[in-house]
């Protein structure tokens, strides 16, 4: 268990505009390993929803299967959750969203869940620009099945068992931009000051908002030689977080400090570079976003922050021309054409 | 030409068209069927088509039956052979004394000459080349010319065609005249050269009353619109594609908001069947009526999700238009071979509710029922139709809708109801019927939320690995299964009380042939009681029928006698008592076939003369 939540809160806990204290947004106790990056991301979601004055029951949280996909139980206890099947959360979220466009949808997935078994659904949910926040808790391994390499493990990275990965890594953020995702951000579970505003921005996005969060698995991929290990990183990442979220999309783009590169020394002495967006970089320009990500990659750096946004995007409902009223509330009188119309149908078939 | 020997056959024959696919023959052939329908005579067409878009042989078989037998019949009385590729087989397919209509623009090869059949040569190509200049028109009108020839040969009223053309070309009236002209070219040619009509011919009747002519897939799509489906997710696959298309067509007619022009439905062509099923489950979880349509390969892919919907108790409707498996099998041929796969879809202990329609009207009704059942039982409901029912036109009773009918939305708690509850338990069996109460996302600020999951949980939807809690849940699911037995459509029983120690059970499209077989067996003084199955789980009536006979013939269109296995598994029926009557060559089962298999058991020496 990662932490024991105190039973009693200080009565003076601050309330948000809805009159809720932050514990109103928490979930049941996490059963993940102590120190697992995923728990920090859950905490980030709690914080973002609290700060944005979200009605928890107007949120639906969905996931696939994995340690990461267990987290919907650990945040927003007053929201309905759906821990579905491995790699298929995007389709379940699509159906749910089609049924009721008025809820806010949080999708939580892992790198195994999204980059391997669920790659097909990940790709297609992006194509459809489903309005949802989609967070991949990316640890470069399959936590729940005890640490096998995932498709996001870097080439040359060594896992706990000591074997070296020989395959190229799938970079979900680049892929998402390439596929036309309308909101792509990258962050680090240890960098809450950056992550929270990014989640808030994602929640306000009218379309598919993807956040790829590097979220170390302390149990299986925190060893010397792993490019996703980061005991050391935690100490340094805070200094790099300077993202602010003001609930107007346009101001997000200006809230970065000048391109800071943060070199993070790992356990084994290897370095992860956390790179802030450069000033000349225009997150509203897809080509420049792709360019910047690729450049950083070539240098062995990981860019974090908002990578790309198209704030004028149209979501799936807009594209399909579906009614503004949630489909699940349409009354029978609207749905059923009635017997008179059926007579015409019959007549046409004689 | 030589007259046909034997009795003249009024309103009782089979015509087979041998065409090349992609040449526009489909609409001409349908015109032929529709004209017979309009003359009030029972008619049943079967498309026998390749899994290919252009250039391969395709057949269209039309059976006319005064007695109203709408199953397929072996033995072809007249072949319209306009496909040189399949000529050899087409000549061979004609019954002795039958007719072979061909394009005599080219001489018929000597190897195609049989002394026991009659040849009707019409220079179709020559006539069209002379009359029409546009190559596409030549091709299309060639089809109309042979329909004209048939009109004269079989005595179809020309006025019926004129009316059909007028309807077909409403808004493009100038097309009526050239079509009538092509039709008359055929009429005139055969009248001048052959004795018309033939001994196989038509006579107007009033046997169809208010019947309609429609395919099962259209009926399913329409039924889903009437039942209030709002979210549809599908992936193209023959023979189910036209279900989604029909839904889309009818919904775009009936479900557009008048003020905003927006759609009161959503239809998504998914990336595969896994996603299609996932979307259906997501929508069902969120309180929308949702369905997908697919065929065997799609159901295979949907297995994992079906298990989730069963275990997490989420309403979903799946229309399985079965085709010939396994694997890609014969994608354009019919079969009833997904029964086992559907009944127990997914790993672990699962059982699913299946419905078996046998007419387009039942496709409509049972699709609507499926949505009620899915929400009442909170589980996937599978409508098991097949290619024959789904893609072929059938004479069917008209669709009906009772305006007083109210959608049965099942046990869903609203905010006020939640307020009255101390602690909501998603998987508590409050009513003792195994069906728990559910809540929809967004209902109440502080009550009723839970995490839906495919992992085991307790009555309050809290994750648990406690074996007792798991077993309690599995037992409740079985209780729900028993509850379902009294909710699914009851079987049709054909006799007031048992008249024989033998019974016969059939379902779906086998019904047409089975009912015909029953009549013929009766004429032969062979008595067999009949039951038409409409659903799984088997209810008490089915069980009683089986138990009250010494032997039960089980008619089905698959190799492994899958329904029979279900009876053995679910009812514990003795295998020796259940005699399989099977057909699995991809063609719809025939009455002759059933009779042969039944008589093989009931009388030592088969008494039937071979028909073909
Ligand atoms: C169809 C299927 N195959 C395999 C599994 C086993 N499985 C459970 S979680 C998992 C990998 C999870 O990895 P990831 O998505 O990265 O999540 P993490 O545990 O690392 O957070 C696998 C392979 C499964 N549940 N379902
Ligand atoms: S195994 Fe890894 S991913 Fe799973 S809970 Fe433990 S630390 Fe987190
Ligand atoms: Mg992982």
pLDDT over 90 (residue A273): no
Q: What is the DSSP string of B484-520?
A: HHTTSPPPEESSSS---SEEEEEETTHHHHHHHHHHH
Q: How far apart are CA B36 and CA B62, in angstroms?
A: 10
The radius of gyration computed from the CA coordinates of chain B, to the nearest angstrom, equals 27
For B338, the domain range is 214-396
Chain A touched by B412 (CB under 8 Å): no
What is the span of the domain harbouring residue A213?
22-320
E strands present in A221-334: 261-265, 271-275, 301-303, 305-309
Based on the fold, state whether residues B270 and B158 are members of the same structural domain: no
Helix (H) or strand (E) holding B380: strand B380-386
Last residue of a domain, one of B152, B172, B201: B201
User: Strands (DSSP E) along chain A, which ranges?
Assistant: 59-63, 80-83, 104-110, 132-138, 141-142, 148-149, 183-188, 208-214, 261-265, 271-275, 301-303, 305-309
Judge if B107 and B252 occupy the same domain. no
> For residue B606, is pLDDT > 50?
no
| Residue with the larger pLDDT of the pair A205 and A151 | A151
Domain-located, residue A335: no
In a domain, B604, yes or no: yes
What pLDDT, in 10s, does the model give residues B431-479? 999 999 999 999 999 999 999 999 999 999 999 999 999 999 999 999 9
The DSSP 8-state label assigned to residue B54 in this structure reads S
Would B452 be classed as within a structural domain? no
Does one domain contain both B151 and B226? no
**Residue A13 belongs to some domain of the structure:** no
Assign residue B132 the CATH number of its domain: 3.40.920.10
The structural domain count of chain A equals 1
pLDDT of A99 strictly over 60: yes
Task: Check which CATH number belongs to the domain holding A271 and give it.
Answer: 3.40.50.970
Check CB contact under 8 Å for A81 and B450.
yes
Total count of domains within chain B: 3
Span A38-62, pLDDT tens digits: 999 999 999 999 999 999 999 999 9
A109 contacts A91 by C-beta, under 8 angstroms: no
For B486-535, write each residue's pLDDT tens digit. Answer: 999 999 999 999 999 999 999 999 999 999 999 999 999 999 999 999 99
The answer to whether residue B299 is domain-embedded is yes
Interface contact flag, A55 B445, Cβ < 8 Å: yes
Q: Which of A104, A81, A57 is nearest to B453 (CA)?
A: A81
CATH number at residue B238: 3.40.50.970
Does the beta carbon of B41 lie under 8 angstroms from any beta carbon of chain A? Answer: no
**DSSP annotation of B446:** S
Is A334 a domain residue?
no
Cα nearest neighbour of A338 on chain B:
B403
Q: Residue written as tokens 């046998």?
A: B358
ipTM: 0.95
**B396, B431, B466 — which closes off a domain?**
B396
B588 belongs to a structural domain:
yes
B116 in the same domain as B244: no
Write b or e for each residue in A98-135: b if 16 or more Cβ atoms lie within 10 A of its Cβ, otherwise e: bbbbebbbbbbbbbbbbbbbbbbbbbbbbebbbbbbbb
Q: Which of B288, B308, B399 sits opposite A84 (nearest CB)?
A: B308
pLDDT score of A248: 42
| Nearest Cα residue to B161 out of B181, B131, B142 | B181
Of A96, A323, A349, the CB nearest to B264: A323
3-state secondary structure of B140: helix
On whether both B309 and B362 belong to a single domain, the answer is: yes
Mutate to test the interface with B, among A20, A25, A61, A92 (most CBs of B within 10 A): A92
For B18-77, how does the pLDDT look when each residue is reduced to its tens digit (9 = 90+)? 998 878 899 999 999 999 999 999 999 999 988 888 878 899 999 999 999 999 999 999
Residues with Cβ within 6 A of ligand 1? Answer: A 65-68, 86, 110-113, 137, 139, 141-145, 150
Any domain includes A12: no
Residue A137 Cβ < 6 Å to ligand 2: no
Predicted confidence (pLDDT) per residue in A113-163, tens digit: 999 999 999 999 999 999 999 999 999 999 999 999 999 998 888 888 888
Q: Which of B396, B414, B445 is the last residue of a domain?
A: B396
Interface list for B 496-525 with A (CB within 8 A)? none
What pLDDT was estimated at residue B482? 98
A239/A135: higher pLDDT: A135
Q: What is the pLDDT of residue B203?
A: 97
Q: Is residue B354 part of a domain?
A: yes
**Closest-CA residue of chain B to A347:** B212
Looking at residue A279, its pLDDT comes to 58
Q: How confident is the model at residue B7 (pLDDT cuts 50, 70, 90)?
A: low
Give me the residue from B267, B274, B443 closest to A91, CB to CB.
B274
Beta carbon of A213 within 6 Å of any ligand 2 atom: no
Residue to mutate (ligand 2; options A2, A29, A34, A38; most atoms within 8 A of CB): A38
Considering only CA atoms, which residue is closest to atom 5 of ligand 1? A86
CA B23 – CA B286 distance, rounded (Å): 46
* Position in ligand 1 atom list of the atom nearest CA A86: 26
Which pLDDT tens digit goes with each residue over B376-409? 999 999 999 999 999 999 999 999 999 999 999 9
């Amino acid at each position: 268990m990662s932490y024991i939540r105190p039973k009693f809160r200080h009565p003076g806990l601050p309330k948000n505009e809805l009159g809720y204290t932050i514990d109103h947004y928490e979930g049941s106790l996490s059963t993940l390993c102590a120190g697992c990056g995923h728990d920090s991301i859950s905490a980030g979601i709690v914080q973002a929803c609290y700060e944005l004055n979200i009605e928890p029951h107007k949120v639906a949280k969905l996931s696939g299967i994995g340690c990461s996909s267990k987290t919907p139980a650990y945040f927003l206890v007053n929201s309905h959750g759906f821990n579905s099947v491995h790699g298929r959360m995007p389709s379940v979220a699509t159906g749910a969203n089609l049924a009721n466009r008025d809820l806010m949808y949080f999708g939580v997935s892992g790198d195994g869940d999204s980059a391997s078994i669920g790659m097909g659904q990940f790709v297609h949910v992006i194509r459809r620009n489903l309005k949802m926040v989609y967070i991949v808790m990316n640890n470069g391994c399959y936590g729940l099945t005890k640490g096998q390499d995932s498709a996001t493990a870097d080439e040359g990275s060594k896992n706990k068992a000591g074997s070296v990965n020989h395959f190229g890594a799938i970079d979900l953020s680049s892929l998402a931009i390439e596929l036309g995702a309308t909101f792509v951000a990258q962050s680090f579970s240890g960098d809450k000051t950056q992550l929270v505003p990014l989640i808030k921005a994602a929640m306000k996005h009218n379309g598919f908002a993807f956040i790829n969060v590097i979220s170390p698995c302390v149990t299986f991929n925190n060893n010397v030689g792993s490019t996703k290990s980061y005991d050391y990183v935690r100490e340094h990442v805070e200094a790099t977080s300077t993202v602010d979220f003001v609930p107007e999309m346009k101001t997000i783009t200006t809230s970065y400090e000048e391109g800071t590169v943060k070199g993070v020394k790992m356990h084994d002495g290897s370095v992860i570079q956390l790179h802030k967006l450069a000033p000349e970089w225009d997150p509203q320009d897809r080509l420049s976003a792709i360019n910047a990500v690729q450049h950083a990659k070539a240098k062995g750096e990981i860019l974090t922050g908002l990578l790309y946004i198209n704030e004028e995007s149209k979501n799936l409902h807009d594209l399909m021309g579906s009614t503004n009223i949630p489909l699940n509330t349409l009354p029978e009188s609207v749905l059923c054409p009635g017997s008179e119309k059926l007579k015409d149908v019959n007549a046409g078939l004689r | 030409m030589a007259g046909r020997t034997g009795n003249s056959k009024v309103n009782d024959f089979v015509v087979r068209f041998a065409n090349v696919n992609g040449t526009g023959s489909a609409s001409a052939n349908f015109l032929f069927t529709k004209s017979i329908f309009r003359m009030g005579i029972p008619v049943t067409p079967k498309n026998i088509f390749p899994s290919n878009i252009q250039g391969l042989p395709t057949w269209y078989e039309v059976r006319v039956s005064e007695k109203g037998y709408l199953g397929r019949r072996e033995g072809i009385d007249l072949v319209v052979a306009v496909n040189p590729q399949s000529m050899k087989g087409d000549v061979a397919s004609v019954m002795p004394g039958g007719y072979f209509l061909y394009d005599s623009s080219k001489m018929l090869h000597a190897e195609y000459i049989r002394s026991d059949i009659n040849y009707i040569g019409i220079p179709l190509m020559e006539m069209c080349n002379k009359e029409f200049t546009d190559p596409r028109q030549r091709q299309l009108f060639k089809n109309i010319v042979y329909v004209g020839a048939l009109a004269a040969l079989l005595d179809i009223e020309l006025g019926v065609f004129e009316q059909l053309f007028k309807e077909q070309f409403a808004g493009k009236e100038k097309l009526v005249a050239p079509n009538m002209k092509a039709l008359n070219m055929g009429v005139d040619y055969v009248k001048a050269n052959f004795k018309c009509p033939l001994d196989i011919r038509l006579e107007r009747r009033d046997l169809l009353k208010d019947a309609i002519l429609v395919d099962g897939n259209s009926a399913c799509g329409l039924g889903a619109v009437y039942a209030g489906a709002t979210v549809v997710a599908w992936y193209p696959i023959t023979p189910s594609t036209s279900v989604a298309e029909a839904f889309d067509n009818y919904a775009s007619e009936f479900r557009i908001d008048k003020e905003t022009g927006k759609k009161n439905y959503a239809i998504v062509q998914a990336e595969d069947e896994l996603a299609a099923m996932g979307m259906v489950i997501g929508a069902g979880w969120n309180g929308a009526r949702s369905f997908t349509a697919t065929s065997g390969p799609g159901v295979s892919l949907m297995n994992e999700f079906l298990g989730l919907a069963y275990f997490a108790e989420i309403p979903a409707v799946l229309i399985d238009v079965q085709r010939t498996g396994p694997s890609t099998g014969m994608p354009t041929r019919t079969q009833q071979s997904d029964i086992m796969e559907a009944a127990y879809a997914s790993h672990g202990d699962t059982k699913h509710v299946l419905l078996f329609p046998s007419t387009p009207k039942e496709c409509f009704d049972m699709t609507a029922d499926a949505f009620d059942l899915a929400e009442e039982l909170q589980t996937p409901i599978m409508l098991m139709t097949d290619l024959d029912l789904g893609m072929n036109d059938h004479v069917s009773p008209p669709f009906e809708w009772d305006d007083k009918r109210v959608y049965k939305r099942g046990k869903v708690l609203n905010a006020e109801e939640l307020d009255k509850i101390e602690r909501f338990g998603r998987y508590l069996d409050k009513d003792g019927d195994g069906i728990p109460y559910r809540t929809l996302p967004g209902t109440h600020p502080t009550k009723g939320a839970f995490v839906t999951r495919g992992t085991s949980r307790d009555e309050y939807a809290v994750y648990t690995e406690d074996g007792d809690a798991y077993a309690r849940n599995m037992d409740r699911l079985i209780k729900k299964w028993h509850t379902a037995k009294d909710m699914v459509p009851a079987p049709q029983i054909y006799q007031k009380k048992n008249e024989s120690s033998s019974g016969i059970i059939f379902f779906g499209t086998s019904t047409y042939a089975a009912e015909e077989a029953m009549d013929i067996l009766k004429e032969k003084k062979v008595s067999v009681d009949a039951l038409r199955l409409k659903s799984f789980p088997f209810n008490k009536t089915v069980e009683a029928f089986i138990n009250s006979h010494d032997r039960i013939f089980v008619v089905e269109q698959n190799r492994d006698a899958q329904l029979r296995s279900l009876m053995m598994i679910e009812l514990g029926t003795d295998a020796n008592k259940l005699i399989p009557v099977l057909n699995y060559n991809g063609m719809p089962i025939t009455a002759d076939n059933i009779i042969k298999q039944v008589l093989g058991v009931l009388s030592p020496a088969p008494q039937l003369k071979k028909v073909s």
